Amino acid sequence: MDTKALSKIGYGLYVLTTNYDNIDNGCIINTVQQVTSEPLRLSIVVNKNNYTHDLILDSCVFNINVLTTETPFKVFEHFGFQSGRNVNKFADCEQELRAVNHVLYLPKHINAYFACRVVKSIDLGTHTMFIADVLDAVKVNDSDSVTYDYYQKNIKPKKTVTKGCWVCKVCGWVYEGEQLPDDIVCPLCKHGKEEFEYVEPT
């Protein structure tokens, strides 16, 4: 099976934010879909290893921040390559903006946000699908939304390797070594062995 085929599906990239017990957190996700129009509902799918996942289970509220093509790589690093269990991702936020559900939304690098309340969760094994009512939808500007393909081609830095290694196709983390352990889990994006590909020295 060629898992590279999955990259041909039209994914977007979003910062998912939530708040529970005065804890603000966020992570990068790529699975957002409108599922009904009356009532207006969206679905998201979140990896269970993400701290944001656990906070949403408890709070039942979240915001989807739609990132633009002008979003710098540091935003993806900040929300996608570290855990809120270890870092307060909003400690240096220059402006505290909260939606109607009292969840933070990003002050820049977005063209829209959706404030949501969970009505149902579905266990998918490694992930959970949250289905939520949209409490508010706000268009911020007319900038183009970033897709996963655009991120891979134009935002994510290109890596130069001097010896053979394995690279996570999702986030770019590098495992140095000729043999990839069967039980490897990317420490950044939490994907398994099937998402790694071998890269020859350049």
Render pLDDT for 45-89 as a digit per residue (tens, 0 to 9). Answer: 999 989 999 999 999 999 999 999 999 999 999 998 888 999 999
Looking at residue 160, what is its pLDDT? 65
Phi, psi values for residue 119, rounded to 5°: -115, -20
Query: What topology does CATH give the domain 3-150?
Result: Pnp Oxidase; Chain A (2.30.110)
pLDDT in tens, 84-104: 999 999 998 878 999 999 999
Predicted model pTM? 0.84
User: Structural domain boundaries of the chain?
Assistant: 3-150, 158-199
Query: What topology does CATH give the domain 158-199?
Result: Rubrerythrin, domain 2 (2.20.28)
Asked if the model's pLDDT at residue 40 lies above 90, the reply is yes
Looking at residue 6, what is its pLDDT? 66
